[in-house]
Chains A and B, each alone.
Chain A
Amino acid sequence: MIPFIEARSIRLVFKSKNRDAVTALQDFGLEVARGEFVSIVGPSGCGKSTFLNILLGLVRPDSGELRLNNTPIAGPGQERAMVFQEFGLLPWRTVQANVELGLELKHVAASTRAERSAELIKLVGLNGFEQHYPHELSGGMKQRVGLARALATEPEVLLMDEPFAALDAQTRDLMQSELLQIWERTGKTVLFVTHSIEEAAYLSDRVIVMTARPGRMKDIIPIGLPRPRDYEMRLTPEFNDIKSKIWEVLKEELTVIK
């Protein structure tokens, strides 16, 4: 079976003028099947966000192979969209205009854009807020706009870079449940970067643990929990076992100072 997303031997070095070069990713690889929800966890600086940016097409790796549906990735493309940790909404645009941004850049007609954005705004539960500005919204609401925007161009892959890290705990829990619902409705392939083991275990089909810098894949832990998942699952002993397993693997990387 050909994996939907395939990365092999990815290497990326950050060169800086006055300091030594930093190898962010060394021989990093992974495989993701279509429609899977995969999380990536790892110590700070291990290169997980960098990898997402490489997948997005904003950064080119120094070496290695990167394929989406068996075609090499050479730059940003309509099939991949990212949801950013700091939201990245244009402050001078309304919610609606923000959601339509991707469609606008692809020169989609205004009426089509309006239809699409209305659908998505409803999907993320923000109807009534179409004409509001980002500075009038809470963190959770801003991230919903970010999600709607990412979904607007109908990508096949959703790249999420610690999207809920800037939210308070309750909003975070809420957003996680909503994300799962949206994922199940839309069937996207999701690559989710997070620091939170609990979040990774709760959301994903598989959790990939990265080593400390230079990052490579250390282990893959399948999450055998049934879907659809609900909050109570987090309180079960099975869930705790999974968390411990991930933690055991991750722990080693946290004590390594490279």
Chain B
Amino acid sequence: MTGLRAFYNDREPYILGIGFIVLLLLVWQSIPLWFTLPRGMALFFTTPTKIGASFYQLLMNGELEKHFYVSALAFVVGLGISILVGLPIGLLMGRSRMLDALLDPYVTAFNATPRVIWLPLLILWFGIGIWSKIVIVFAGAVFPLLINTYVGVKNVNRVLVNVVRSFGANEWQVMKIVVLPNSLPYIIAGLRLAIGRAILGVVVGEFFGASQGLGFMIASAASNYKVDVVFVGVAIFMGLSLILTMAVKGLESRLASWRPETVKSF
């Protein structure tokens, strides 16, 4: 019996955590067995197995693929642009006090405001094509990247900078040799946050003024009471979010080995 007890003790977090999720799914699945739902509700109800079946079906008939690619495109392009814009600006803002003072109010204002609010305007400007989505994704993802890069650059160890300068390095070399590597963990943490915001941008962008994409799939399924399809979409976003976030977290912990503290954020 000690073998079993030791096994449980070692893996207790996983057993309890995953067990709980499995339990929830089982309960969910079995609800129709316990209650006969009133007719109104039955329309709205679905179960994990039905969701699985829908998923399979959508996968097979190509619908899922079609929507997925559209969403993925908006996500990748939007995120890509936000990296290309956010990192340099964050870097420059970190190194130049004047630029920091100049841009900081705008960064704060745009960051605090939910990006979603710009959607009607973007749809006005870009129509219901993919560009309004890309801009929303960009607007959401650029700030964590920019801000984290900025923080990383500002928190660079003065001693190290002086060491490198004492060997005659110029500003550019200081950047390359000290500032950037030092900022990397912050930037990766920013990437993790940016991914979450980018996915959010895709979802919300595709809810309104879209004709394709997973978000659109969810919204139109909801209005047609196809609840299982809605959950398929939600589950896909959930899964992608988790996979990407965990991948980045893995990257973060590899880098964190030489860092005393990691940037914590929720």
* A202-226 to B contact mask, C-beta < 8 Å, 1/0: 0000000000000000000000000
Q: How many inter-chain contacts with C-beta < 8 Å in the A-B complex? A: 4
List B contacts of A18 (CB < 8 A). Answer: 6, 9-10
In the complex, chain B residues 4-26 whose Cβ is within 8 Å of any chain A Cβ: 6, 9-10
List A contacts of B9 (CB < 8 A). Answer: 17-18
- The residues of B with any CB-CB pair to A shorter than 8 Å are 6, 9-10
Residue of B nearest to A18 (CB): B9
List A contacts of B6 (CB < 8 A). Answer: 18
- The residues of A with any CB-CB pair to B shorter than 8 Å are 17-18
* Interchain Cβ contacts under 8 Å between A and B, 4 examples: A17-B9, A18-B6, A18-B9, A18-B10
Q: Is the interface of A mostly helix, strand, loop or mixed?
A: loop
In whole angstroms, how far apart are the Cα atoms of A18 and B6 in the complex?
7
Q: In the complex, how many angstroms separate the beta carbon of A219 from the nearest chain B beta carbon? A: 41
List B contacts of A17 (CB < 8 A). Answer: 9
In whole angstroms, how far apart are the Cα atoms of A17 and B5 in the complex?
10
The 4 closest A-B pairs by CB, nearest first: A17-B9, A18-B9, A18-B6, A18-B10
In whole angstroms, how far apart are the Cα atoms of A17 and B6 in the complex?
9
Q: In the complex, how many angstroms separate the beta carbon of B146 from the nearest chain A beta carbon? A: 30
Q: In the complex, how many angstroms separate the beta carbon of B84 from the nearest chain A beta carbon? A: 40
Residue of A nearest to B12 (CB): A17
Q: In the complex, how many angstroms separate the beta carbon of A251 from the nearest chain B beta carbon? A: 35
Q: In the complex, how many angstroms separate the beta carbon of A19 from the nearest chain B beta carbon? A: 11
Residue of B nearest to A17 (CB): B9
Q: In the complex, how many angstroms separate the beta carbon of B15 from the nearest chain A beta carbon? A: 15
List A contacts of B10 (CB < 8 A). Answer: 18
In whole angstroms, how far apart are the Cα atoms of A17 and B9 in the complex?
8
In whole angstroms, how far apart are the Cα atoms of A18 and B8 in the complex?
11
Q: In the complex, how many angstroms separate the beta carbon of A65 from the nearest chain B beta carbon? A: 35
In whole angstroms, how far apart are the Cα atoms of A255 and B227 in the complex?
71
In whole angstroms, how far apart are the Cα atoms of A248 and B112 in the complex?
66
Q: In the complex, how many angstroms separate the beta carbon of A48 from the nearest chain B beta carbon? A: 29
In whole angstroms, how far apart are the Cα atoms of A18 and B12 in the complex?
12
Q: In the complex, how many angstroms separate the beta carbon of A23 from the nearest chain B beta carbon? A: 21
Q: In the complex, how many angstroms separate the beta carbon of B162 from the nearest chain A beta carbon? A: 23
Q: In the complex, how many angstroms separate the beta carbon of A182 from the nearest chain B beta carbon? A: 36
In whole angstroms, how far apart are the Cα atoms of A141 and B6 in the complex?
47
In whole angstroms, how far apart are the Cα atoms of A124 and B30 in the complex?
69
Q: In the complex, how many angstroms separate the beta carbon of B14 from the nearest chain A beta carbon? A: 15
Q: In the complex, how many angstroms separate the beta carbon of B224 from the nearest chain A beta carbon? A: 53
Q: In the complex, how many angstroms separate the beta carbon of A18 from the nearest chain B beta carbon? A: 6
Residue of A nearest to B6 (CB): A18
Q: In the complex, how many angstroms separate the beta carbon of B187 from the nearest chain A beta carbon? A: 29
Q: In the complex, how many angstroms separate the beta carbon of A15 from the nearest chain B beta carbon? A: 13
Residue of A nearest to B5 (CB): A17
In whole angstroms, how far apart are the Cα atoms of A17 and B10 in the complex?
10
Q: In the complex, how many angstroms separate the beta carbon of B7 from the nearest chain A beta carbon? A: 11
Q: In the complex, how many angstroms separate the beta carbon of A93 from the nearest chain B beta carbon? A: 25
